[in-house]
Structure 1
Amino acid sequence: MGNKNACIIVDLRSGEHLVHVPEIVTVLAAAGWKTEIALKEYGGETLQLAQKAAKKDYELVIGYGGDGTLNALLKGTMYAQGKGTIADIPGGTFNVWAKAIEMPEDPVKAALALVDSEPRSLDLGHFEATGLTPIKDARDARQAASNGKKSKKSKESTDTRHYFLLNVGFGLDATMMAHMSKPLKYRVGPLAFDLAAAKELPSQRPFPVELQQTDDKGRVIDRWRGDVWEAYVSKVPLFAGAVNIEPGSRADDGLLYVTLITANGPLKTVGQAVSLLTQHKPDRNITTYFHGTHFSLRLPASIDIQVDGSTVEPEDLLLEADQRALQQTNDPEQMLVDYHFDARPQALHVAVPRTYAGPLFEKTAQPGNSVPQEHLPLAKPQPAHAQSEEHTPGRHKPAYNIEVIGSIAHQGKQPTIIVAGKFKKPDTDEVQVLAVRINKRTQVLNNAGEPIPPAKLLELQEGQTILAEGEKTKRSVIKATSVRLAN
């Protein structure tokens, strides 16, 4: 991406993210990006911050947190009808989306990948709770919805509509997420999901689901009824960083994928649990699949829900009248909630590393986004005898001995190479992340002091050392006049 006006929304999460924010800003500043920071301090604030950012017309809004932060970011953007691109720097437990697009977990490397990214069109799933029905009245409602007739759908309400990028899960996974220990999750990561699964599975029971698939005109084209352990409506194939729900789904195919893990007796149930925990995918022999653009699901109000990895109470999705009716009932299992799902093709743009070549997208990346070798900064070659003291790092300007973290080529107003690395201050031993900006005016030398093409800096490996000479800005960016390979 070229120069950007960006906003980073940070999930503080006990303060551990805060220390990395200046490092991220340093890398973005080296690319010429102007970045503002918004800190999420309490639950639900990310959505508000995302709406404000979308209304300010930032070209890029970046979420630094987990999948829940990303979901709030995309919802806020959609609610505010924002037109900018959203991006994700992983800082949560699972980071399903970041892993799917091969975004590095290290925040400095992720910032480099973000600079070297491109906007891709992305579908979203949309759903809302459209009604509450006593279970005793469900049979009458089924008789009214005869084959071939249009499915009745309530008017969309801003209070009940939700968007999702990954999936919505009803049943097992939502129960596991709801009962997962947060301290344990922060300490052991995705393993906490497996531990919660092992704990909760013995107490789980199947529940009834009615599915109805409709076409764009609202005509019913398929129905299904039965008992399930889990119902997923997904846009991408992964959940919790490991479980492969629907391998055929794509982030830009315009479709939703419904996966029903059916109840088929205790032995098959045990087999399904083993498949989820060990093979990280449902047993396809006892799983039912649908794909399309419009679905309705009816299931008990007692069933837990997760949206992109964050738990949601069914009551919070209902309109006020239905909320009151649910609160007045003594048994939520006797009340059925109707959920309606729609695919929203090309709903927004998301930043994806230019190097990503995986199967997540149906459409290929647009050509011409990479930086051709001939457009990289070129230092004027000089014969070895012409190298004088004025070209020796450290003679006239500050020099920094930097341990390399990563490097990228950046196509901004002027082609540059950015090298990010660690610098240990000699007086305090404090380690600081610096970003070295190399352009056509930078002299690049090998460890023998001989000039080399700047493109060689893109071959640097993590842990190598360079000596960079130049003035350091307040954002910790070194505008290099000279860079020399130290090893």
Structure 2
Amino acid sequence: MSGKNASFLINPRAGENTAKLPDILAVLAAGGWKTEIGLKEYGGHIMEQAREATEQKKNLLIAYGGDGTLNQVVNGVMSAKGKRPIVGLIPGGTANVWAGEIGVPADPVKAALTLLNSDVRKVDVGCVFVRSIAFPGEDQPSGASLEKSRKKAAEESAKVRHHFLLMAGLGLDAAVMGNVSKPLKYQIGTAAVGLAAAQELPEQHPYPIEIQSGEAGDSLWKGEAIQVVLGNTRRYATAQRMTPEAYVDDGQIDVCVITAGNPLSTLQQVTSLLLRQKPDNTTAQYFKGSHLRIKVPATIALQVDGSAVKLKDYLSAADYKKLSKLDKEAQEQVFVTYQIDTLPQALPVAIPRAYDDELFEHGYHPEDKQEQITNAESAPSSGQKLKRGLFSRFTKEDDRSVETSSQKQTAVEETLASSEIKQEKISEKREEHQKELSRELPDVMESLSQHGRKVAVFAKAPNAAVSDTYVIAGAVQKSSGQSAPGAVVVNAKTTIFDHHGHYVNDLNAAMQELTEGAVVIVEGKRSKRNVVQAKRIVLP
């Protein structure tokens, strides 16, 4: 994953997510990123900053916070004009569902290193908006003026859209998330969600729902439910897999409807969620679709990626005013039809190279792709094959072809011979360099011990954008003798010694053996971000 300019958008969570900021910025700088910082100051601020960063043509947008912060970044990117940047994540929230899905470490510094060792993958994004709202007696509009008025209101509602990367929900989960105290959540985490659930549960009851095919409006299912989950991914909250067959690149949204039932079926559902981490099939209905419509009462709450969405945001001023005048019982007779669309391959995201691709239906094989390109370039076209196949016995063209093949074979042999000679020369130079190092080794080691910087290693990772390059995060000693958060860049140009003073020529093996807590000595130029470009390094 390569680029130049990054925007680092932070939900500070009362200062909790700023403590490791110097460490993270050092890692990003070591990875070659010039990073601008944006702090959330009010609701919706992250989305505004993400939109601005996209329109400023930033290469990478990093969300530092929870799934709600990530959702704000996604919505900012999707609502902006121009090319969409890569979206990455450093988890700093309560549930951190996306981080758990793709294997991003919870520690922010290790997450930053993982970001450097990631590939760019394009994923689907869900989009939800209100298609229509039907008040009692207006399901079948009468009169041209009324129909025109309803159409205008629907068009106004459709202008407001919310995007989601993970999931959306209708019912209990949205009601709970809408009543969670954020200050309390920052203090006690998921326990705050549990308290809100305990308060909301007695107020919840089954509600009528109809699911339709978005393309034709055909009814797929109609009944009563207690919860609807729309999954672009699989995990729900911290563990449960409400949509266990979902893929993030299949162009479809998976729908799980937990149907209303008796106390026994409810107990079965809870047991299944706790033990099997997915709903019980006997009391759940599943659907898939690229375009869906879901019709529910106006009193049913909606959430996207764990953040509650107000129905007011979707409605025209006239419709919202009309709805507000009704009591709760009357509002339950008002039906809202949500449109849920899948935007396929719409968002480039950073996916760790160590990820097992569980969420991807289509695997990622850059080597295979390169091999296909190489083969396509070297292989003759179908026309050439046809011509040679038909006329090779009857024209002189085949003689020229054979001669050309022979010449090519000779050229290949000459190239290989030349390559072997070059390799021998490189080996000779390397041996001479090692001998020279051996002669100078006492002086080099003494210089390193006197002038080198000690670095207490916290973690390390390859930089996927640059071959044979690693970034080490840790506490880097300054000229004053004090240590501060920083990073070290080690690459093929770095001369590596072990603690005995022996020259080490295998960079990858040396980095693999480097463990957390080890202390290395480095020599090289140090930047303002406390990043050292290691010219020499002594391993423990």
TM-score (norm 1): 0.88
For the pair 1:255 / 2:308, whether they are aligned, the reply is: no
Instruction: Give 1:334's aligned residue.
Output: 333
Alpha-carbon separation, structure 1, partners of 2:302 and 2:317: 19
Q: Is the 8 A contact 2:301 2:308 kept in 1?
A: yes
Q: Is the 8 A contact 2:50 2:77 kept in 1?
A: yes
Partner amino acid, structure 1, of 2:76:
G
Change (3 A) 1:158 1:24: farther
Instruction: Give 1:88's aligned residue.
Output: 89
- Aligned-pair CA distance for 1:310: 0.6
For the pair 1:9 / 2:62, whether they are aligned, the reply is: no
Change (3 A) 1:343 1:156: farther
Determine helix, strand or coil for the equivalent of 2:213: strand
Instruction: Give 1:150's aligned residue.
Output: none
For the pair 1:417 / 2:470, whether they are aligned, the reply is: yes
Alpha-carbon separation, structure 1, partners of 2:306 and 2:270: 19
- Aligned-pair CA distance for 1:29: 0.9
TM-score (norm 2): 0.80
Partner amino acid, structure 1, of 2:268:
G
Q: Is the 8 A contact 1:134 1:335 kept in 2?
A: yes
Alignment of 1:342-421 (within 5 A): 342-368=341-367, 382-383=434-435, 385-392=438-445, 394-395=447-448, 398-412=451-465, 415-421=468-474
Change (3 A) 1:177 1:209: same
Moved more, 80-89 or 393-402: 393-402
- Aligned-pair CA distance for 1:198: 4.6
Alpha-carbon separation, structure 1, partners of 2:28 and 2:155: 43
Change (3 A) 1:165 1:443: same
- Aligned-pair CA distance for 1:391: 2.2
Say what the alpha-carbon RMSD is for the aligned residues.
Answer: 2.8
Instruction: Give 1:319's aligned residue.
Output: 316
Alpha-carbon separation, structure 1, partners of 2:39 and 2:313: 25
Q: Which has the higher strand share?
A: 1
Change (3 A) 1:131 1:21: same
Q: Is the 8 A contact 1:9 1:40 kept in 2?
A: yes
Q: Which has the higher helix share?
A: 2
Determine helix, strand or coil for the equivalent of 1:457: helix
Alignment of 1:181-330 (within 5 A): 181-214=181-214, 218-277=215-274, 279-330=276-327
Change (3 A) 1:344 1:298: same
Change (3 A) 1:411 1:232: closer
- Aligned-pair CA distance for 1:124: 0.6
Q: Is the 8 A contact 1:389 1:395 kept in 2?
A: no
Alpha-carbon separation, structure 1, partners of 2:358 and 2:352: 14
Change (3 A) 1:434 1:188: same
Alpha-carbon separation, structure 1, partners of 2:76 and 2:87: 11
Alpha-carbon separation, structure 2, partners of 1:206 and 1:295: 21
- Aligned-pair CA distance for 1:265: 1.5
Alignment of 1:98-177 (within 5 A): 98-135=99-136, 137=138, 154-155=154-155, 159-177=159-177
Alpha-carbon separation, structure 2, partners of 1:80 and 1:420: 34
- Aligned-pair CA distance for 1:339: 0.6
Q: Is the 8 A contact 1:26 1:435 kept in 2?
A: yes
Post-superposition Cα deviations, 1:305-361, rounded to whole Å, max 9, x if no partner, equal: 211011112222222222122122223222211111111101121111112113111
Q: Is the 8 A contact 2:357 2:363 kept in 1?
A: no
Q: Is the 8 A contact 1:227 1:263 kept in 2?
A: yes
Q: Is the 8 A contact 1:408 1:458 kept in 2?
A: no
- Aligned-pair CA distance for 1:33: 1.4
Q: Which sections of structure 2, spanning at least 5 residues, go unmatched?
A: 142-152, 369-426
Alpha-carbon separation, structure 2, partners of 1:380 and 1:460: 24
Q: Is the 8 A contact 1:393 1:483 kept in 2?
A: no
- Aligned-pair CA distance for 1:191: 4.5
- Aligned-pair CA distance for 1:401: 2.4
Q: Is the 8 A contact 2:171 2:302 kept in 1?
A: yes
Instruction: Give 2:40's aligned residue.
Output: 40
Moved more, 18-27 or 110-119: 18-27
For the pair 1:24 / 2:77, whether they are aligned, the reply is: no
* Larger Rg, first or second structure (1 or 2): 2
How many corresponding residue pairs?
465
Change (3 A) 1:387 1:191: farther
Identity of aligned residues (%): 38
Change (3 A) 1:341 1:417: same
Q: Which sections of structure 1, spanning at least 5 residues, go unmatched?
A: 142-152, 370-377
Q: Is the 8 A contact 2:449 2:521 kept in 1?
A: no
Alpha-carbon separation, structure 1, partners of 2:532 and 2:158: 47
Alpha-carbon separation, structure 2, partners of 1:303 and 1:207: 8
Moved more, 96-105 or 390-399: 390-399
The equivalent position to 1:439 in structure 2, one of 483, 486, 491, is 491
Post-superposition Cα deviations, 1:80-103, rounded to whole Å, max 9, x if no partner, equal: 134221111111111111111101
Alpha-carbon separation, structure 2, partners of 1:87 and 1:109: 14
Post-superposition Cα deviations, 1:148-195, rounded to whole Å, max 9, x if no partner, equal: xxxxx9547674211111111111111222233434432443344445
Alpha-carbon separation, structure 2, partners of 1:219 and 1:419: 55
Determine helix, strand or coil for the equivalent of 1:392: helix
Alignment of 1:462-477 (within 5 A): 462-477=516-531
Determine helix, strand or coil for the equivalent of 1:406: strand
Alpha-carbon separation, structure 2, partners of 1:396 and 1:176: 59
- Aligned-pair CA distance for 1:134: 2.1
Change (3 A) 1:460 1:198: farther
Change (3 A) 1:470 1:320: same
Post-superposition Cα deviations, 1:199-225, rounded to whole Å, max 9, x if no partner, equal: 5434421111111113xxx32344321
Determine helix, strand or coil for the equivalent of 1:7: strand
Q: Is the 8 A contact 1:120 1:352 kept in 2?
A: yes
Instruction: Give 2:536's aligned residue.
Output: 482
Partner amino acid, structure 2, of 1:131:
S
Determine helix, strand or coil for the equivalent of 1:248: coil
- Aligned-pair CA distance for 1:412: 4.2
Partner amino acid, structure 1, of 2:527:
T
Q: Is the 8 A contact 2:168 2:302 kept in 1?
A: yes
